[in-house]
Amino acid sequence: VRNLKLDVSQLSVDSASKLSPGSRPFPFLEGLHITGHLPVLALIFRSIGPLQRVSISTHTKSERDWMTTCLQTLVSNAGGRLQDITLQGLDSESMRIDDESTNESHSISSLIHPLTQLHGLQEVELSNIPYVLTNQDVTICANSWPKLRVLIVKAHDSILEDKQSLLGFPALFSLA
């Protein structure tokens, strides 16, 4: 199997914890599209080898603290060849960030920090996530991913309505 699409939304943490770290049940896997809760995904990522493409669909608002753990696990176990990553939030309720929208904890750089180690990334998509994109974040992306060809960041509608994006024209110079 080279590409796999999994929905593990109903899988419990107890069930996922029975996977052996490093077991690599799909040794030739290149692409993974996985949907589920972040604590479960972090456990699954312990058992997969290097991937070229990964797409993660999850509930980012309720499990915000788990996102970094999940991405750290992905990078350490499956990130060696990773070229394309998609993070898709499944939350439909308002994701309004409190008045401290410039706070570092809400910056996309806090989310993607583990991914900055992956200098071979060529395509990154972040959709429907409760984070704010700043000029500094784009600079971090540009410096961390010199092979980047595609960067897609789609904020949740409620964030756009609140005008919480701090991205301006200077960010484009970082990507040039």
The yes-or-no verdict on residue 1 having pLDDT over 50 is: yes
Q: What is the pLDDT of residue 137?
A: 84
Mean pLDDT, residues 139-149 = 91
Q: What is the pLDDT of residue 101?
A: 42
More confident call, 108 vs 147: 147
Q: What is the pTM of this model?
A: 0.83
The yes-or-no verdict on residue 168 having pLDDT over 70 is: no
Sheet holding 150-155, edge to edge: 3-7, 31-35, 53-58, 84-89, 123-129, 150-155
Mean pLDDT, residues 27-53 = 92
Which of 18-22, 80-84, 91-95 has the largest mean confidence? 80-84
Q: What is the pLDDT of residue 65?
A: 73
Query: If phi over 0 gives left and psi between -120 and 50 gives alpha, with beta otherwise, what is residue 24?
Result: left
The yes-or-no verdict on residue 126 having pLDDT over 80 is: yes
Q: Work out the mean pLDDT of the chain and round it to a whole number.
A: 81
Report CA torsion sign: 23, 56, 152, 133: negative
Q: Which of 81, 26, 10, 71 is nearest to 51 (CA)?
A: 81
The yes-or-no verdict on residue 91 having pLDDT over 80 is: no
Q: What is the pLDDT of residue 32?
A: 96
CB 82 within 8 A of CB 118: yes
Q: Which of 27, 17, 83 is nearest to 52 (CA)?
A: 83
